[in-house]
Structure 1
Amino acid sequence: MRKRATAKQVAEAAGVSKWTVIRAFTPGASITEESKRKVLETAAALNYTPNLLARSLATNTTGQVAVFVDDFANPQKLPFLESLTEKLQAAGLVVMLININNHFDHVNALLHADQRQVDAIILFGTAFRDETLTDLQLGNGMPPMFVLARDSQIEGVPAVVCDAELALREIVDHLHAKGYKRPGFMSGAAALSTALRRRQHFAEFWAEKGVTDIALLSAEKYSAPAGAASIRRYLSETAAQDRVDVLMCENDILAIGAMDEIRGKFGLRVPEDIAIVGFDNYELGGSFAYGLTTYEQPRNEMVDVVLKMIKGKIEPETITLPGRLIVRRSA
């Protein structure tokens, strides 16, 4: 195997110092255009690329960011991950994707990421509990952590989230204005959905309008089959005259599963018999087959804020951003 060319060899071939070679590959470094051109041309001829691991010893940074993800089966995570990885990589950062679920010890995973010398950790999911982040094993020397797309109640761990309170107020105002009076709410796994606060705000804003009797449905996880199973139990056990006239689902995947079951197995109409609302604006929900009313999170803006915090361009703090209600024929 051919040995990799070194910065010293490039410097000798280009007739410059080794430090000039290093500056040529350092964004924003002071170097003349002519010297930079000469170095880059020589480096290309020698097939040289800078050793980022060696550079990290001098800068005390690795350019690596660990992204912890749970619930990979939820396809709504993919657009978020696409935006997140694209923007991190465009900023010169390497993304380390770590699968976290109930079979893995979160504390050990965090310690492992720290041993990899990552510059930051992004917690993207709902399975991260407060006691995990305050574990005594995770001392003050841990890299900075940021929570994306869910709330964080831990001091020193900022979150960047869609404004759930504003979102649910807009949704409830819309449904109330359309004349719905018997609302229901379908949540995902109980231990995870509490971090999203959508059910809490849904109940609060209906109470302000004098509606306190809300049917609560629970799905075992965030998936279409789980949404279908949840609504199947509800419709099988509830007399037609006592059923909800509108069902808010905690995300679009649950809503899609519920709609398929409502129309397919029970032969009911959406929205005439039961209106459906989702959350997240998953692409499939906008298709003609579903026409799902939903709420879109400001995905790109949320990722931009996390990136600015990691790069030190803004102070780390919890930030909520507004999304937008998307009204379609399902409600």
Structure 2
Amino acid sequence: MAKRATARDVAEQAGVSKWTVIRAFTPGASITESSRAKVMAVAEKLNYRPNLLARSLATNLTHQVAVLVDDFENPYKLSFLERLTLELQSEGLVAVLININEHFDHVHALLNADQRQLDAVIMCGTAFRTEMLQDVRLDGAAPMFVLARDSQIPGVPAINCDTTLAIKDLCRHLHEKGYRRPGFMAGPKTLSTALGRRRAFKAFWKAHGITEMPELAAHHYSAASGAEAVRRYLNEVSPAGRVDVLLCENDVLAFGAMDVIRSEFGLKVPADIAVAGFDNTLFAAAPAYDLTTYEQPVEAMVKAAVAMILGREPKKTVTMPGRLVVRGSA
């Protein structure tokens, strides 16, 4: 194999110091344009590229960010990860995607990220718990951020959608449409990532004189879990006592619920039971679902998180408004 060109090789041919070569490849470094141009011309001739590993040892920065995900069954995650990785890469950062599962939990992931000296950790899942993460917080460890979820972890900022405003907008629309027997389908219960959607939902309807609100429990954020939850509910409750509108904690649960409502029980959406979701995923607009939902401000949340990682903004919890998307399901 041909020997790989080094910064010293470029410096010798360009007639500059090694540190001038390093500055030429460092954004914002102090160097004249003529020196930069000379270095770049020789670098191109020698096919030289900076050694990022060596640079990380010198700067104590790896320009790598761990992204922890534990709910890959949720289709919302694909578009979300696309936006996140695009923003990281545009800033010269690389995402290290870590699949959290029964064999590799959040504790292992955080310890692993610390050993690899990653610059930051972004948690995009639902199953991490306050007490579990506090046990592995290390002095000097990479800063952690919770993205698109609430956080009750001291010192860990969350960048998320304004839950109270979102649910109020959804419920106000449903109330104006005349629905008076609301039900809520919740995903798996967690501690540090409690979404607060259930709480805001109950508060709205209670303020409007409605206190009986059935809660359907889904064990996972998946269409299969949404289907199972609504199937169990419809089998147990007589037609006269059923809800007239079901708000699901996210779109994928709503997809599963709608499939069962129509295909297994022969009911119509929204004539018999209206359904609404949350996230405005790709399939929400498909004619098969035509789902009323709420869109999170993904791009703004991602930009805010990356700005905090880069030190351009103070590390603090931020909530942002999204938008209600009304379609035919409710």
Provide the TM-score with structure 1 as the length reference. 0.96
- 1-structure distance, mates of 2:69, 2:223: 19
Name the residue aligned to 1:28. 28
Output one character per residue of 1:145-168: Cα deviation in whole Å (capped at 9) or x when no partner: 111111111221111111101101
Name the residue aligned to 1:276. 275
Preserved CA contact (<8 Å) 1:13 1:42: yes
Q: Secondary structure at the match of 1:329?
A: coil
Q: Secondary structure at the match of 1:122?
A: strand
Name the residue aligned to 2:4. 4
Name the residue aligned to 1:182. 181
- 1-structure distance, mates of 2:266, 2:108: 49
More deviation, 159-168/12-21: 12-21
Amino acid at match of 1:253: V
- 2-structure distance, mates of 1:144, 1:213: 43
Preserved CA contact (<8 Å) 1:69 1:100: yes
- 2-structure distance, mates of 1:247, 1:13: 71
Output one character per residue of 1:128-149: Cα deviation in whole Å (capped at 9) or x when no partner: 10012210x4322211111111
- State yes or no: 1:290 paired with 2:292: no
Preserved CA contact (<8 Å) 2:129 2:190: no
- 1-structure distance, mates of 2:277, 2:291: 7
- State yes or no: 1:13 paired with 2:13: yes
Q: Secondary structure at the match of 1:2?
A: coil
Amino acid at match of 1:210: G
- 1-structure distance, mates of 2:141, 2:193: 26
Output one character per residue of 1:282-328: Cα deviation in whole Å (capped at 9) or x when no partner: 11011122110000000010001101111111111111111111011
Q: Secondary structure at the match of 1:190?
A: coil
- 1-structure distance, mates of 2:127, 2:188: 10
Name the residue aligned to 1:89. 89
**Structure 2, unpaired ranges of 5+:** none
More deviation, 121-130/27-36: 27-36
Preserved CA contact (<8 Å) 1:107 1:138: no
Output one character per residue of 1:38-88: Cα deviation in whole Å (capped at 9) or x when no partner: 211211111110011211222221111111111112111111111111101
Name the residue aligned to 1:249. 248
Name the residue aligned to 1:204. 203
- 2-structure distance, mates of 1:278, 1:72: 18
Output one character per residue of 1:254-304: Cα deviation in whole Å (capped at 9) or x when no partner: 101111111111111111110000000011011122110000000010001
Name the residue aligned to 2:155. 156
% same residue: 63
More deviation, 223-232/278-287: 223-232
Distance 1:131 1:192, change over 3 A: closer
Amino acid at match of 1:296: E
Provide the TM-score with structure 2 as the length reference. 0.97
The alpha-carbon deviation at position 183 of structure 1 amounts to 0.3
Alignment of 1:33-52 (within 5 A): 33-52=33-52
More deviation, 219-228/320-329: 219-228
Preserved CA contact (<8 Å) 2:275 2:329: yes
Alignment of 1:110-149 (within 5 A): 110-135=110-135, 137-149=136-148
- 2-structure distance, mates of 1:2, 1:211: 76
**Structure 1, unpaired ranges of 5+:** none
Name the residue aligned to 1:58. 58
The alpha-carbon deviation at position 237 of structure 1 amounts to 1.3
Amino acid at match of 2:87: K
Name the residue aligned to 1:165. 164
Amino acid at match of 2:174: L
Amino acid at match of 2:322: G
- 1-structure distance, mates of 2:203, 2:23: 58
Q: How many residue pairs align between the two structures?
A: 330
Amino acid at match of 2:38: K
Amino acid at match of 2:323: R
- 2-structure distance, mates of 1:154, 1:267: 45
Name the residue aligned to 2:326. 327
